[in-house]
Structure 1
Amino acid sequence: MKFYGIVVFLAFAALAQGVPNNARTKRSISDNLVTLVESIQALASAANEDLGLPAFDPYTADSLDISINQTLAKLEGGLTDLKITGLSDFSIDTLKFSLIGLKFTFGFTWPSITFSTGYSIDGTVASVIPIYGDGDASGEITSLTVSGTAGISIKNSYLYLKTLTSAVSLDDFDLQLTGLVNNDDASALIAAVVSDTVPQILVDFQEQITDAANTAITEYVDDYLGSMTLAELLALINS
């Protein structure tokens, strides 16, 4: 989700460098946006103090809380010693800016993202299936594609994300688990079922998943940009 926030920030940064008045300038802004994202890729393993962006590949966290309250699942718990690699290894399929509605279109593909973490969890899936336990989880996501559109606007001199739509798909999901329902044999069976069904779950529950993601992403982006004026953004970009 934080990556979405980074991309939205870069889109507005490209816009702030000049208002296009012809098709050639529009293309230049889109090209500049691609260049900015590529520069972030190259610096993914180190924080960028000028842009205020943290290192994000590998992404690590000592602990993270889990709180999911959706139709598909209601879960509470936490993660420990989380590590995710491959977040910066993506291709830019589409990244364009349009003056109409201050909107940009994006599409990215990650060939492989791997993760490992300790976990504890308690809740239900599909309202009736109990899920609980604590142990270790690891896996790989193959060919993850994220695409959509985002619109930026200004209110009372401050920036905010006006609209966000997105779509998510992946080719394969490989999960390994221990400790789920306090039984390693059951964990292996459940991990195999989850691995087989996640790509189709993304298709069947696309709207619910992306609606929840878009809401969380909008909150993150507005926290990042909501206290920033255009003048402050220009000063940041030109520093």
Structure 2
Amino acid sequence: MCHPIPNLGLPALDPLELGPAETAVNNQYLVDFTGSIEDFQLKGLSDFVVDTLKINAVPGFRSTIKVTFPYTYLKSLYTAKGSLAYIVNLAGDGNAEVLVKAFSLEISWKLKLSSSLSITDLQIDILLGDLKVNFENLMEEERIDLFLHDLINEMGVELLGDVWNYEQAKVVAKVEALINSKLSGILQGIIGGGGSGKPPIFEGVEPDCKLPAP
């Protein structure tokens, strides 16, 4: 994951580097926001542990993959200007840091064979051990800024869990549809293009770039 995968159009994923980039949201009465990132880096994606790996190629039988990322760290320069409902003003400008511990992702599915190979009954479960954030000068008022950081750092795991439980069904349905729309092409790429003349997905990707421990 330290090297890009050009046949998938993927950059190196550890560290994952993005930016500079800008975004803007304005839905009049709720959020009026402009923001940017620069020197964005996300580290720790290659230091994962495979807790469960059960692949079943028989249609109707469940396959399960569970992966845990013990420690991931994000840092970036950022700006965030605007307001929330024209009541709370954003004044973000500086360093942004996010630390995530013990992030686990479990995905399970069943194969379905009809006119083409697809997956069905997709299930996605997410667990988060700890979350800490620090966005310099995020809110215009210091007391609100401190309160928001304290709230996220104390209750962020529970809040994200509630959001995931609320949106889980919608997200899973969209992910399953996306996988099924791409599955045939992915399988052809893995085995060498399936006669299409395209190279295998991982052709040209260098081995692990991390040096062995002394």
Query: How far does residue 65 in structure 1 lie from its aligned partner after superposition?
Result: 4.3
- In the TM superposition, what whole-angstrom CA distance separates every residue of 1:158-192 from its partner, at most 9, and x where no partner exists? x6654532111212111112232224553233112
- Paired with 2:67 and 2:11, the residues of 1 have a C-alpha distance of 20
- Paired with 1:187 and 1:92, the residues of 2 have a C-alpha distance of 38
- Paired with 1:92 and 1:210, the residues of 2 have a C-alpha distance of 23
- Paired with 1:184 and 1:192, the residues of 2 have a C-alpha distance of 12
Secondary structure class of the residue paired with 1:170 = strand
In structure 1, list runs of 5 or more residues that go unmatched. 1-43
Larger helix percent:
1
- Paired with 1:162 and 1:226, the residues of 2 have a C-alpha distance of 12
Q: Which residue is 2:102 aligned to?
A: 143
Query: How far does residue 112 in structure 1 lie from its aligned partner after superposition?
Result: 0.8
- Paired with 2:113 and 2:83, the residues of 1 have a C-alpha distance of 40
Q: Which amino acid aligns with 2:67?
A: F
Query: Is the aligned partner of 1:207 residue 2:165?
Result: yes
- Using the size of structure 2 for normalisation, the TM-score is 0.67
- Paired with 1:109 and 1:54, the residues of 2 have a C-alpha distance of 21
- Paired with 1:207 and 1:95, the residues of 2 have a C-alpha distance of 24
- Using the size of structure 1 for normalisation, the TM-score is 0.61
Q: Which amino acid aligns with 2:90?
A: Y
The 3 A distance-change label for structure 1 pair 184 and 137 is farther
Query: How far does residue 149 in structure 1 lie from its aligned partner after superposition?
Result: 1.2
- Paired with 2:64 and 2:89, the residues of 1 have a C-alpha distance of 38
Larger Cα Rg: Structure 1 or Structure 2?
Answer: 2
Q: Which residue is 1:80 aligned to?
A: 37
RMSD: 3.8
Match of 1:193 among 151, 155, 167: 151
Paired positions, count: 188
Q: Which amino acid aligns with 1:101?
A: G
Secondary structure class of the residue paired with 2:185 = coil
Q: Which residue is 2:206 aligned to?
A: none
The 3 A distance-change label for structure 1 pair 80 and 238 is closer
In structure 2, list runs of 5 or more residues that go unmatched. 193-199, 204-214
The 3 A distance-change label for structure 1 pair 238 and 93 is closer
- Paired with 1:173 and 1:91, the residues of 2 have a C-alpha distance of 19
- Paired with 2:64 and 2:180, the residues of 1 have a C-alpha distance of 19
- Paired with 1:215 and 1:49, the residues of 2 have a C-alpha distance of 28
Deviates most, 135-144 or 200-209 = 200-209
Q: Which residue is 1:134 aligned to?
A: 92
